[in-house]
Structure 1
Amino acid sequence: MISATCNRIFQQSIDDYHLADHVDTPVRNPYAKDSLEHLLYVKNWIDTVQWHLEDIIRNPAIDPVEALAIKRRIDASNQERTDMVEYIDSWFLQQHSAVTPQPGASINTESPAWAVDRLSILALKIYHMQVEATRAEASDEHRSKAQEKLNVLLEQRTDLSSAIDQLLEDIAAGRKFMKVYKQMKMYNDESLNPVLYQQKNK
């Protein structure tokens, strides 16, 4: 099942990141470059670094210059995240390129890779909620509430994993079909973001 592979790779990436626990730690992807595992590892590494950048930027005592630099880094990370989702969807599309959709086949509300994206973020939520549920210096009430939230997150992962596997089974059987849409983000494009192109034309 694809979801089992996703969950295993995501956990590996998160564990590897936390060996140094620093946003500038270089990624050391252990998987072959053209493999799905490679794409999944990169995808989650991007998400993990961005998760910690989002934590850092919320420090009320942060230097404004540093905050701006981090905000721009988060913007770039969002673009990388979107690009990786499109790469993963392209991988799935290639895997099912020989499938002929059945009459009446439908398209899903989201592509397989965007569902995988949610699974990656969910892995991070689970990891960090587990930390809070077992944090020794926290109060019993804090740990109890964190455990309740963790239980919900674990249930969400089970449900989402099942839904991803079912979607891919439906695509493989021709009951559903998929397309890869380029997200066409506008805020990083100098020709589409009015703030950027107005500055450029001054």
Structure 2
Amino acid sequence: MLDAILITRMQDEVTEALHNTEGELAIEAPADGLMAIAIAQHRANFDLWHEEDKARCPGASDSEITRIKHAIDALNQRRNDLMEKIDLWLLDHLDQNESAPLHSETPGLMIDRLSILALKIYHTREESHRDSATEKHHQRNRNRLALLEEQRADLAACLDTLWAEVLNGTRRFKLYRQMKMYNDPELNPAMYGTARS
């Protein structure tokens, strides 16, 4: 049901495909519901990464930065909703030992972290051989790449360990709602018009 190697492989393949099609790739979701949600969640992170890059462009106008900021908020909400959806899907397909010790991080949160690492690895690998950069820059990014790959391998192993423990009944997790407030017109004072005192 949950396999970190398959998830990280998918994240790498989707990242590569989206970059090669300038983000216009129509991703065909597999039949497995979990992987379909993980693909959508990674796509949200991909889009979020590139919108954040646009916001940092020195020549961006104020109106463009405003538009990008709104897009970032919507994408971040989608990213968080999909993390929760991963956990809900797993919980719906699982019979946990409710007396097992609780794990502080959910599989959905871990898959999100793996998604971010996949994007960092892709872009760091690009920087490690960018034609316009110096050899010092290349070496710095080769060193960073090795660390990122080690961190991803560690996190993927932790995800697999957690999942094995959940299936064995020696560990459990529960859904943690992100409770984002910034996109909610009833919770964000800037949206409902009340100034803070």
Q: TM-score, normalised by structure 1?
A: 0.90
State the AA in 2 paired with 1:108. Answer: H
Kept in 1, the 8 Å contact 2:97–2:171? The answer is: no
Change (3 A) 1:113 1:72: same
Whether 2:126 is the aligned partner of 1:111: answer: no
Give the aligned CA root-mean-square deviation in angstroms.
1.5
Following superposition, which runs of at least 4 residues in structure 1 exceed 3 angstroms of deviation? none
Aligned counterpart, 1:159 = 154
Checking the alignment, whether the CA contact within 8 Å between 2:125 and 2:142 is kept in structure 1 is yes
* Residue 20 of structure 1: aligned partner: 21
- Cα displacement string for residues 103-148 of structure 1 (whole angstroms, at most 9, x for unaligned residues): 5x21111111101100000000000000011112211100000000
Structure-1 residue corresponding to 2:92: 94
In the comparison of the two structures, how many residue pairs are matched? Answer: 193
One-letter amino acid matched to 2:47: V
Q: Take 1:33 and 1:189, find their aligned partners in 2: how far apart are those partners? A: 33
Counterpart secondary structure, 2:145: helix
Deviation digits for residues 148-189 of structure 1 (CA, Å, limit 9, x no counterpart): 000000100110000000001111111111111222211111
Q: Tell me how far apart the structure 2 counterparts of residues 29 and 136 of structure 1 sit (CA, whole Å).
A: 30
* Partner SS, residue 44 of structure 1: helix
Structure 1, unaligned stretches of length 5 or more?
none
SS at match of 2:133: coil
Aligned to 2:42: 44
Alignment partners' CA distance in 1, 2:183 and 2:32: 27
Q: Which runs of 5+ in 2 are unaligned?
A: none
Q: Distance in 1 between matches of 2:145 and 2:165?
A: 30
For residue 128 of structure 1, what is the amino acid of its counterpart?
Answer: H
Instruction: After TM superposition, give the deviation of residue 34 of structure 1 in Å.
Output: 5.5
Alpha-carbon contact 1:32-1:38 (below 8 Å) kept: yes
Q: Write the letter of the residue equivalent to 2:178.
A: Q
- Report percent identity of matched pairs: 35
Per the alignment, in what secondary structure is the counterpart of residue 193 of structure 2? Answer: helix
Alignment correspondent of 2:7: 6
Partner-residue secondary structure (3-state), 1:28: coil
Distance of 1:193 and 1:122 partners within structure 2: 31
- Alignment pair present for 1:125 and 2:120: yes
Task: Normalising by structure 2, report the TM-score.
Answer: 0.92
